[in-house]
Amino acid sequence: MIKKIKITILTIALVFTSFSFTDNYFEIAKNLDIFTTLYRELNNYYVDETDPGELMKTAIDKMLKSLDPYTNYIPESEIEDFKFMTTGQYGGIGAVITKRKDYVFINEPYKDFPAQKAGLIAGDKILEIDGVNAKGKSTEDVSKALKGQPNTTVRLLIERPYEENPFEVSFKREKISVKSVPFYSYVEEGIGYIKLRSFTRDCSNDVKNALLDLKKEGDLKGVILDLRSNPGGLLNESVNIVNLFVEKGQEVVSTRGKIESWDKIYKASKSPVDVSTPIIVLINQSSASASEIVAGAIQDLDRGVVIGQRSYGKGLVQQTKKLSYNSQLKLTVAKYYIPSGRCIQALDYSNRNDDGSVGKIPDSLMTAFQTKNGRTVYDGGGIMPDIQVEQEEVNNLIISLVRERLFFDFATLYKYQNQFFNDDSVFVIPDSAFDLFKEFLSDKSYDYKTETEKAFDVLKKKSENENYFASIENEFNTLFSEFELNKKNDLERNEKMINEILSEEIASRYAFQEGRIKTSILFDKDVNEAIKYLNDKDLYQSVLTTVD
């Protein structure tokens, strides 16, 4: 056994030597030998029983974590989850699940997939899976149990709110293909909207088909491409999506890394669909990677206007390498650069602070670049939108109601009491429902502290420490009592935001994800801003034009 290990170490050292052409192979071989002997001694002599596989997984994860968050080891047991991230496909029941206390619940079934067709709804508690008690199981445990080969049967024991007895449901798993474009439609006369969820395989064809459908349905005068909260995915799909809107041969993105022979320039290789219709790309702080390639390329080429908030700033490219025993390594191999020449990576993982943290590149060190029309853009911190839209701050009351799932639970109750809904999936909560929601909350716990309360706490503590509190205690208590009276009106003060959240949640009960998106557009500040610019050609063009 030891002989085999030494041969393996020597082989690895030679491989490293052939790739890097450096003379550090001795250091590599030495440290591999140290690790192997340490690993053996732990397994042989540690006081408690150890799990060799878990020990190795921990060691690998810690090693890769020191590099960047995107370089990951994928064991065989997690390959299916990884494939889902790149293909959007898996074998299962077709539902989003969530953990609440001791049980996992159905959070939202996908329309026309097994869970929904079998009658499962949001709020259903999973008591058993194929006769096995699900109490205490994690979402990962339940997810693995629900997934499986298509046409295999799964049997669930379900407890449903407002129904007296649990019931059993049995149905077959299917191949689940989660739509990369969950919704597209006209949001106003002449203005089309396309929501792209992720950059999975063939998503560019989904965007293309949505664009062509919009052109068939009406006179398309402007397109809103929504990439908000899109974490990215496949690089080639981002190139293909930009290609829909720019001429063949146009450079979209390039990659440069340690191995020069791997450096590559990606150009639009197909005939475009539309090179003239005005485009608005929506981004936010959770738009990353491939989303930033699309938004950045559209911005750099002055092909459209970017609206929203600064994007995440992930300018690193990953590749997967097959390892032994059906495992894989996803590792960062390059940085990507959009047409102006800028890299929008926000964090420099190669230069860490003394405490191991990684700081963002300060604005003062960012470099200016020029778009095709000569507009100034910057590197080093995500894509800065051409038009920034300030988002309404979410206060602690709303956060508490979300955390305690009270919006979710009220939507479940509302659907139970109002089974029928005749509309095209848009839902706006009636005024009477707000009073019902307040009544619903009357016996619910949703403790929260406002920023004012936190300030009161700080004032009291500091004044006590400095021996001032005794002299101001009466005034302090009077002022705090006044505040407590005012706090009781927090629900009314937040009625607008509460109604918007309830409308989206209830819409999802009747029309699933499409209903949620369609309803959210009614209250969407970014979409409204996009519509304003697309309806005013001069305003739109003014953004893309330099001022002498």
Residue 311's nearest CA partner among 333, 338, 330 is 338
Neighbours of 493 (CB within 10 A): 13
From 180, 238, 254, 289, the catalytic residue: 289
Active-site residue (options: 125, 179, 195, 314)? 314
Could you give the CA distance from residue 159 to residue 168 in angstroms, rounded to a whole number?
9
> Rounded CA gap, 212 and 184, in Å?
11
H runs (alpha helix) in 95-173: 114-117, 139-146
Locate 240 and state its tokens.
Answer: 């293909």
Under a CB-based contact definition with an 8 Å cutoff, are residues 307 and 524 in contact? no
Residues with Cβ < 8 Å from 345, sequence gap 6 or more? 313, 314, 315, 316, 335, 380
Annotated active-site residue 379? The verdict is no
Tell the residue number behind the tokens 């920034």, with chain if given. 388
Of 136, 151, 130, 146, residue with least CA distance to 80 = 146
Of 124, 300, 302, 409, which one is the catalytic site residue?
300
- Position 17: which residue type? T
Cα gap 302→288, rounded to integer Å: 20
Distances (CA, A) of 534 to 183, 216, 222, 251: 20, 19, 6, 26
**Is there a catalytic annotation at residue 226?**
no
Query: What is the C-alpha separation between 150 and 104, in angstroms, rounded?
Result: 22
CA geometry: angle at 46 spanning 43 and 50, to 5°?
A: 55
Q: Which residue's structure tokens are 């309404």?
A: 392
| CA separation, residue 418 to residues 120, 123, 510, 522 (Å) | 17, 15, 10, 22
Q: Is 289 a known active-site residue? A: yes
- Rounded to whole angstroms, how far apart are CA atoms 392 and 390? 7
> How far is Cα of residue 289 from the mean position of the Cα atoms in its chain?
11
DSSP E strands, 384-534: 387-388
Give the residue numbers marked as catalytic: 289, 300, 314
